[in-house]
Structures are given as structure tokens and as C-alpha cells.
Amino acid sequence: MTSLRAGTLFAGLPASAPEEVVDDLLSGHGFVLKRIVSTGQASPPGHWYDQDEDEWVVLLAGAAGLLIEGEDQPRVLAPGDWLLLPAHCRHRVEWTDRERPTVWLALHATAN
């Protein structure tokens, strides 16, 4: 039986960090929910994420540019914006806000 847990998604946000901060919040049969905090990070040059699982991502704070392979321009994400990236949808983070933390929730789920 799972015990009751509670928290705030905005606790302990770093003002800056050399790398993104990734915290696993919850996991279960076929999924993992992560909080990601970016402080100006981007994908390394030439790097594309190509994941075996579906990823649903929502931006809670800050701003980011996410480039999907085959698209001409990054999608500019603001708080409340979300995307469902199917397995093997190649994508990269072009930029994240340098002035304030960008807070994401990412749900990774086994692809159907």
C-alpha cells in the first residue's frame, strides 16, 4: 500500500545550476513522473532525444524552446503549455530561460 505523500513542485528551486536538476516524483507500472528544473540549459549541439517511451511534458514556470525534428523553428513554451512526444519523436531543448528557473513535469510512459 502506498503511503500518503505531499509537497510543492516549487520547493528547493535552484537559482542556477551547472546542469538540469531532475527529481523522480512518482513511479508505477509502466511510468515515471519527473520534475525537471532548467536554469539556462539546452541540449548539447547535435544531440537529439530519441526515447523508447512516450513522454508527456508540461511547462509550469519559466520558458523554453523545444525543437522537433523536421520542424523549422523551436516551439516556444510558456507556463501551461504541454506536448505529447510519442516514442522516437526526435526532439531537443534549444534554450531555457536564463533569468528564472524553468520548471517542467515530464511523464515517461511505456509506448503502446
- Convert the pLDDT of each residue in 63-103 to its tens digit: 999 999 999 999 999 999 999 999 999 999 999 999 999 99
Of 82, 77, 74, the residue nearest 105 (C-alpha): 82
pTM attached to this predicted model = 0.91
Amino acid identity of residue 23, one-letter, is D
Which single residue is written with the C-alpha cell 531532475? Answer: 22
- Convert the pLDDT of each residue in 15-62 to its tens digit: 889 999 999 999 999 999 999 999 999 999 999 999 999 999 999 999
Could you say which architecture CATH assigns to the domain 21-109? Sandwich (2.60)
Under DSSP, the state recorded for 110 is: -
pLDDT at 112 over 80: no
Which single residue is written with the C-alpha cell 523522480? Answer: 24
Cell triple for 30: 509502466
